[in-house]
Every structure is written in C-alpha cells, then in structure tokens.
Structure 1
Amino acid sequence: MSDLSVRPAGADDRPVLERLWLMFQHDMSQFREVLPFPDGTFRSERLRSALEDADWAAYLLASGDRPVGFALVRGLTGQGRVLNSFFVVRGARRSGFGLRGVQEVVARHPGPWEIAFQDDNLTAVRFWRRVAAAIAPGAWTEERRAVPSRPDLPPDVWISFKA
C-alpha cells in the first residue's frame, strides 16, 4: 500500500464518505461515550457541512480505487483552518497514509491551522504531535479546551500551527 491520492470529495462521493463516517464515529464513540441512533447511524452534521457549505471542504483519501479515509476542513473563508475530522481505515493505518494525507490537505490551504483530539486516545496523541512536528517543526503549540456543551467530558487537546 504505497500509493495515496488525496482529492476533493464531491456529491458523487457522498455514499462512500457516509460509510467511512460510520467507521470514524464508531472509533470515536469509545472516547466520546456516544451510542448510535436506533437506525445504527451517528450524527452527521459535520459531514453534511463539508459537502454543502462553502466554508468547509471534504477530501477523500484513496489507495488506487480503494477509499482509505477522509479529511473534513472548516474555516476556509476565515483567518484559520480547522481539521475538523480525519480518519484512516484500520487496514491502512501505520502505512504513512495518515501523515501524507494531512500534509497534502494542509498544503492546499496555507495559513493557521488547529486540530483537536482526546488525551485518552493515545494513538491520536502520538499521531497529531508527529504531524505538527513534521509540518511546523518547533513552531506548534498545544492547549486543552473544554468540549462545548459537554461539561461531563475531559477537555480536548488542540494543536495549532501555521503552514
């Protein structure tokens, strides 16, 4: 698995992104204490925004013709970007696709960036610190912020850098 493509996702990609979104939300439910709705789906406002709102962008990561992940970015019309959601399927993790995918997405939108993750997601902690160090060596910051509308959850960790 050495080939990776990162491309903007469009309306035709919605079914694939919706299936990847379910996998992403399943993984995140461990850290957010969230259960699926009775029909087996999860909240999907962020995915919908990424496909329909001009301030957002969705990217599909693929290896050949196989989808391996996605990236959702918000803040395209403002001063700073937020990598709102990022996911790589388990079968493609530890292949370098994640780091390369983030680097390609960030390179498409120069400027200030922020990325949030959870302290108890140890894999994410290591990954996002490695990403920040690769993109902005010695020039990134990390802080904890309360999760909006969820005082019952520990704060998110936010990494900030400029690309």
Structure 2
Amino acid sequence: MTNPLLTNPPGSRTARLTMRPTTPADRPVLDRLWLLFRHDMSEVSGALPDPSGQFRRERLDAAFTDPAWHGVLAHLEPADGAPASPVGFALVRGLDGPTRVLSSFFVVRGARRAGVGLQLAAHVLASLPGRWEIAFQDANLPAVRFWRTVATTAVGQGWTEEHRAVPGRPETPPDTWISLTTA
C-alpha cells in the first residue's frame, strides 16, 4: 500500500524525512508521541494507563536525564511546503557500555508502510556504530517482520536472534532479541 503523504506526481517535489538528536526543547513533542507509542504497544503488552491516563515513562525520562541514553526525532516535511510533522522517534540506551540497546522505537500510523521506519532505524544504527541489541515481542507480527528486515538491511546475514525471559515478569512471554554489529 502506498502512503499518499510520501508520493507525488512525477516531476513534483517529494516529502523529505529529517532526523536529528533530541534536545530538551523536544520534550513536549516526545511526551505526546510517547503516549501514542505506549497506546500502540498496549495491544501487545496488555499495559494499561495509570489513573491519570499516563503510561509508564521511565525510558522516556531517562532519554532526557541519563547521559548513557540518546534520542532521535524524525520529522516529515511535506512536499507542499507545509510545516514539518513529527512522525517518529528512537530511544537508545547503553552508550556507556559495549552494547547499544534500541530501547524504544515508534513511527506514527499515518507514516507507516512508506519507508519512514526503515530510514529511521538505518539512521540510528549508522549514527552509533558498534554492537546492538533490539527487542520485540513475537505477538507483534509487524515488528517481527520489520526488525528482521532492518537487521538484514544493516548487516546482511550477520545477525542473530534469541528469546530471553522478561526480567521480573515470569508470566510474560519472552522477548525476541536481535543482536548485530554495525561498522
């Protein structure tokens, strides 16, 4: 399925995806995108918001307070010159260790299936070369296909996949972890 936001008639300008590290000024945008991300994930995880309507946000908070974390925000600049819209983010932890972990990754539904996620993932992996781990849930079938495609695109067949128990949650199915190394 083609996303009309990203396609234009031949010869016309196309929408442009931009990605940059997050700054403290991005916090209000990330707060709103985080709510959308956690809402989407609740379909797989079963997580419910707290009484105030918020989902857990420790990872988002860490991205703005912990120097071992890094965030990337993606915007789509429409072809018609309208203001850019935030369309996704990635949060990475482990910058102080030997392995980076893609902790959170999200693309808004209106920008999915148009290559935005693949471009964002490729940008993040390339901007922080080294050993990587990416977790997802087998019940999230689009994520299974997506992350296997990302890994293969990034390093060919040079990646592995394994199931690991979720710490402190024995009732939860194990997460699937992809490990790879980028140059």
Q: Is this a same-fold pair by TM over 0.5?
A: yes
Give 1:14's match in structure 2, choosing from 5, 19, 27: 27
Q: SS of 1:133's equivalent?
A: helix
Deviation at 1:131, TM superposition (A): 0.2
1:47 aligned to 2:66?
no
> What is the TM-score when the length of structure 2 is the normalising length?
0.88
Quick one: distance in 2 between partners of 1:51 and 1:8? Answer: 11
1:31 aligned to 2:44?
yes
Offset from partner CA, 1:88-132 (integer Å, 9 cap, x none) = 000000010100101111111110000000001000000000000
Contact 1:6 1:105 in 2 (8 A): no
Quick one: distance in 2 between partners of 1:148 and 1:69? Answer: 27
Q: Which runs of 5 or more residues in structure 1 are unaligned?
A: none
RMSD: 0.7
Deviation at 1:79, TM superposition (A): 0.5
1:86-97 matches, within 5 Å, as 86-97=105-116
> What is the TM-score when the length of structure 1 is the normalising length?
0.98
Deviation at 1:44, TM superposition (A): 0.5
1:3 aligned to 2:16?
yes
Q: Which of structure 1's runs of 4+ aligned residues deviate more than 2 A?
A: none
2:174 aligns with 155
Larger radius of gyration: 2
Q: Which runs of 5 or more residues in structure 2 are unaligned?
A: 1-5, 7-14, 78-83
Give 1:130's match in structure 2, choosing from 146, 149, 157: 149
Residue identity matched to 1:109: L
Identity among equivalent positions (%) equals 58
1:81 aligns with 100
Deviation at 1:8, TM superposition (A): 0.5
